């Protein structure tokens, strides 16, 4: 069975040009002109943009333990809806993947219910609480993508140091939600927004202080250390210096931290509550600049679904987090590519090529003959509206519902099979 994608504007070898793609046995077998005559079925991509499937190193699927918020099936369908073909699922579920048995249980569901490729994180410590380290060697053998306690920063310096030593020996990454709990002071918003709403702030030092500690430990151990969802310009300054010093540190930024700042929080709206919080407009602009100058390596959604009931509370008490899989590409394309701040190849680099490359994913992140046919096809010309009814995720907790955007996903293919098609 051969499938051809014809007449698409294809991102190939860093340039966008009109080409056909021929797929057979899950693989891209030819890229060129007039290939549809060789195919048994044809996807007409005339006027559409064909990209390598997007790669997200930071999603939360809530299963097991919190399936009222999301399941692996609904989360992976949401990823497909957003054009993602490879995602990396964080381990803050119950029970956490802190043993081989727990890890294998989750892997079984990933394989059974996932409609995209799901790479699974294991935890750094037992139960994601500071103290007892997991069996890194056994969890790597079981198939762990990397190690993270995401949702919680590791408070003990000795715990992090010893974890990095073990991960470095196995050539595995430590992926960290950087947060010194003693410096959060129970705050829920960045300083600017907190002042406007007269509630407690979570200062930027809570992020930057722990990032600085961890970077020194990464230098000492030689581990690949990856910082989740950078939000502060002060953290970026430290990351930039670390890279210059040759320390193996990478970092990601979330779409919401690129698009929004504390200036957008003028009322008690829990849809604008995430951790780390939205910080100043200066921070937001620094994050955009950080992508452009290479300090930030990639964009990751931090897709974090919650129930309507949970989010229908004050910003003081509602849980942190917003969904991101289904809105990331269209929002970023509209806000940054359409306005000339980013180029289209740059955006795809940060959302596909770079995450695959920095985490050494094999045959992921490019359109290439002989590679799996993991592809996303977007409509960049016609405007659409982000609507709750179109979400595949169980979570509707997005501040972007109602936004008019370009870049609607028309098709997503995983291993050559259509796993999402626009209605």
Catalytic residues: 302
CA distance 351 to 67: 27
Cα–Cα distance measured from residue 175 to residue 359, given in angstroms and rounded to the nearest whole number: 11
Residues 6+ apart with CB under 8 A from 142: 100, 103, 104, 107, 122
The neighbour count for residue 304, using CB atoms within 10 Å, is 25
Contacts of 401 (CB under 8 A, 6+ apart): 386, 387, 388
Q: How far apart are CA 124 and CA 366, in angstroms?
A: 30
Those residues with Cβ within 8 angstroms of residue 242's Cβ, 6 or more apart along the chain or in another chain: 215, 218, 219, 249
Kindly write down the DSSP assignment for every residue of 51-96, as one continuous string: EEPEEEEEE---TTT-TTT--HHHHHHHHHHTTEEEEEE---SSS-
Q: Which two tokens stand for residue 378?
A: 């977007």
For residue 300, give every residue at least 6 positions away whose Cβ sits within 8 Å of its Cβ, in sequence order, or none: 56, 57, 58, 228, 229, 252, 253, 254, 355
Q: In which element (H, E) is residue 286 found? A: helix 281-292
């Amino acid at each position: 069975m051969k499938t051809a994608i014809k007449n698409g504007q294809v991102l190939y070898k860093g340039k966008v040009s009109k080409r056909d793609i021929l797929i057979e046995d899950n693989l891209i077998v030819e890229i060129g002109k007039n290939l549809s005559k060789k195919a048994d079925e044809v996807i007409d991509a005339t006027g559409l943009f064909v990209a390598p499937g997007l790669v997200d190193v930071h999603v939360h699927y809530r299963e097991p333990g919190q399936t009222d918020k999301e399941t692996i099936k609904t989360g992976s369908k949401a990823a497909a809806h957003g054009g993602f073909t490879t995602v990396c699922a964080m381990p803050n579920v119950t029970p956490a993947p802190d043993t081989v048995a727990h890890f294998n249980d989750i892997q079984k569901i990933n394989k059974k219910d996932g409609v995209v490729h799901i790479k699974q994180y294991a935890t750094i410590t037992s139960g994601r609480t500071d103290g007892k380290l997991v069996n890194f060697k056994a969890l790597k053998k079981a198939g762990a993508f990397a190690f993270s306690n995401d949702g919680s920063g590791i408070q003990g310096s000795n715990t992090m140091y010893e974890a990095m030593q073990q991960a470095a020996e196995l050539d595995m990454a430590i992926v960290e939600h950087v947060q010194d709990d003693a410096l959060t002071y129970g705050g829920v918003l960045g300083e600017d927004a907190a002042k406007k709403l007269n509630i407690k702030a979570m200062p930027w030092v809570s992020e930057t202080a722990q990032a600085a500690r961890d970077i020194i430990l990464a230098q000492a151990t030689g581990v690949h250390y990856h910082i989740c969802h950078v939000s502060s310009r002060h953290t970026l300054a430290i990351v930039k210096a670390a890279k210059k010093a040759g320390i193996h540190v990478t970092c990601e930024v979330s779409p919401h931290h690129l698009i929004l700042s504390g200036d957008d929080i003028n009322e008690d709206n829990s849809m604008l509550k995430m951790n780390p919080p939205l910080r100043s407009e200066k921070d937001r602009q620094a994050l955009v600049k950080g992508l452009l100058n290479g300090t930030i390596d990639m964009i990751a959604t931090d897709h974090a679904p919650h129930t309507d009931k949970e989010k229908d509370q004050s910003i003081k008490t509602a849980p942190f987090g917003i969904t991101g899989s289904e809105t990331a590409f269209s929002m970023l394309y509209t806000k940054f590519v359409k306005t000339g701040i980013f180029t289209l190849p740059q955006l795809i680099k940060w959302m596909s090529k770079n995450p695959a490359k920095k985490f050494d994913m094999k045959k992921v992140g490019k359109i290439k003959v002989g590679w799996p046919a993991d592809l996303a096809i977007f409509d960049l010309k016609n405007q659409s509206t982000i609507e709750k009814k179109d979400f595949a995720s169980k979570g509707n907790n997005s501040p972007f519902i109602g936004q008019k955007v370009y870049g609607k996903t028309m098709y997503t293919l995983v291993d050559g099979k259509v796993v999402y098609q626009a209605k």
